[in-house]
Amino acid sequence: MGFYKDQKSASQGIPYHNEIPISLKDAVCEVALDYKKKKHVFKLKVTDGNEYLFQAKDDEEMNAWISTITAAVSGEKSEVTPSSHSTPAPAARAQTLPASVATAAAESSPGKREKDKEKRFSLFSKKK
């Protein structure tokens, strides 16, 4: 699974923050019941130990994402259509997530999160 800033970046093959695509082999996708800050959040746990949080606009969209990702994990030939609504649908190739979801996914990487946090909240660089 790859992440792109927008449809233009996806068509040019430029990944979001130059992140390499993640493998869905043996991944687990489920509702993030322990996450209370926002509604309609689900998580994707991959075998390398990383966990990604995604936010959908409603329960219907969240369940569609979970079932589509679960189908991809199990190896079923389920594809997703490009859509401005970012809703999984059969017979497609790629899909663009809303900016809020992409941000949540990008911030789930521990090392990257600390570096970004330092950039956002510090006037001076951290002494090493």
User: Do the beta carbons of residue 21 and residue 33 sit within 8 Å?
Assistant: no
**Which tokens hold the place of 45?**
């746990």
Q: Please give the distance of CA 13 from its chain centroid, rounded to a whole number.
A: 16
Each residue's pLDDT tens digit, 94-124: 455 554 444 444 444 455 555 555 555 555 5
**In which order are the strands placed within the sheet that holds 41-45?**
28-31, 41-45, 51-55
Single pTM value for the model: 0.56
Residues in CB range of 8: below 8 A, 6 or more apart: none
Secondary structure letter of residue 25 according to DSSP:
T
Each residue's pLDDT tens digit, 18-35: 888 989 999 999 999 999
Domains along the chain? Answer: 7-121 (2.30.29.30)
Place of tokens 């900016």: 99
